[in-house]
């Protein structure tokens, strides 16, 4: 099956349901259409979002929207078992057994009302994961056409290499932003480039708009200056900073504000000057670059 590549900005759905805005069906349809109108065609899910309810809410809206499945890409994740009455789990844990991975994907497909996922990610690494069991599940899901591609989320380079002893990983969704830039210093992004793995970044605006601390103040002050220089909002400056990295990071943006969604793709057109990029990094770090 030939599919359109993921959009350069990905819509994160974690807060669309009861973990955030708790949107109804019509509001979700409006969000989906707003994303598509602004060339954001990829939607990022996880089975656990909304205490296992957000996929279903999205799936209902997707069917009612009449959006062509071929026009969008759907990502989901599995492996985290939340402490939940829905799952009868007594404690949060991870499960990467072959039957669980397969059954989790099949449940996600039912919830999302689709025949396949464009990408399945293992949500977080488990000390007990067995690569043979993971590989068996992924190969079967691919053979059956239930997933088109495979990746991980929050895996270190060594954990990635462990899985890649048996099966190729094509994506790794990690925390990366102007305020959480460790992945470009600890070898994670270098490892992904070396191994032809595309990074995705969750929480791509970091803590700039969440924390009232010196780091946030420094970044906002400089980003405000650059906002005037480049003629774009501060959040777009911060996304453009991520997109300048040569590993070709795909930011997963969780905003559900329609006017902000309309601006997101602008970040892909910004040619941030070299010294401005380093100035933002220095402002975040609070010291000159090493």
pLDDT value of position 88: 87
Residue by residue, DSSP assigns 54-94 as HHHHHHHHHHHHT--GGG-EEEEEE-EE-S-TTTT-SS-EE
pLDDT value of position 84: 86
pLDDT value of position 178: 98
Residue by residue, DSSP assigns 91-143 as S-EE---HHHHHHHHHHHHHHHT-S-BSEEEE-S--TT--HHHHHHHHHHHHH
pLDDT value of position 58: 98
Note the pLDDT tens digit of each residue in 31-77. Answer: 999 999 999 999 999 999 999 999 999 999 999 999 999 999 999 99
Closest CA to 138 of 95, 105, 172: 105
Burial bucket for residue 288 (CB in 10 Å: 0-12, 13-18, 19+): exposed
Distance between CA atoms of residues 243 and 178, nearest Å: 11
pLDDT value of position 9: 98
The answer to whether 94 is a known catalytic residue is no
pLDDT value of position 233: 97
Rounded to the nearest 5°, which phi and psi values hold at 120?
-110, 130
Question: Under CATH, to which class is 10-211+235-271 assigned?
Answer: alpha beta
Residues contacting 140, CB < 8 A, separation 6+: 98, 102
Distance between CA atoms of residues 98 and 108, nearest Å: 16
**Active-site residue (options: 23, 49, 52, 171):** 49
Distance between CA atoms of residues 221 and 225, nearest Å: 7
Residue 80, sorted as left (phi over 0), alpha (psi -120 to 50) or beta, turns out to be beta
pLDDT value of position 197: 98
Q: Sign (positive/negative) of CA torsion 278, 243, 46, 254?
A: positive
Query: Maximum CA pair distance of the chain?
Result: 54
pLDDT value of position 4: 73
Closest CA to 27 of 260, 258, 265, 264: 258
Element (H, E) at 190: helix 188-194
Distance between CA atoms of residues 114 and 59, nearest Å: 8
pLDDT < 70 positions in the chain: 1-3
């Amino acid at each position: 099956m030939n599919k359109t590549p993921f959009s350069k900005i990905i819509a994160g759905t974690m807060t669309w349901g009861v973990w955030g805005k708790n949107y109804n069906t019509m509001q979700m349809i409006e969000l989906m259409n707003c994303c598509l109108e602004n060339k954001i065609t990829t939607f990022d899910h996880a089975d656990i979002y909304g205490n296992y309810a957000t996929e279903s809410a999205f799936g209902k809206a997707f069917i009612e929207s009449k959006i062509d499945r071929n026009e969008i890409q759907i990502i989901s994740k599995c492996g985290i078992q939340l402490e939940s009455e829905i799952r009868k789990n007594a404690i949060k844990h991870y499960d990467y057994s072959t039957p669980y991975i397969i059954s989790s994907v099949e449940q996600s497909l039912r919830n999302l009302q689709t025949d396949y996922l464009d990408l399945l990610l293992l949500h977080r690494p488990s000390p007990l994961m067995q690569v043979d069991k993971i590989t068996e599940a992924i190969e079967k899901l691919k053979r059956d056409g239930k997933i088109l591609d495979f990746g991980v989320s929050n895996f270190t380079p060594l954990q990635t290499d462990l899985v890649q002893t048996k099966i190729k990983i094509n994506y790794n969704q990690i925390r990366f932003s102007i305020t959480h830039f460790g992945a470009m210093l600890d070898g994670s992004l270098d490892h992904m480039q070396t191994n032809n793995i595309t990074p995705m970044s969750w929480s791509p605006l970091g803590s700039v708009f969440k924390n009232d601390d010196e780091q946030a103040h420094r970044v906002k002050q400089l980003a405000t200056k650059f906002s005037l220089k480049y003629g774009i909002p501060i959040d777009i400056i911060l996304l453009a900073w991520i997109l300048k990295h040569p590993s070709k990071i795909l930011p997963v943006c969780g905003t559900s504000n329609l006017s902000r969604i309309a601006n997101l793709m602008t970040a892909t057109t910004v040619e941030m000057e070299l010294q401005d990029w380093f100035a933002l990094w220095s402002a975040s770090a609070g010291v000159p670059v090493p």
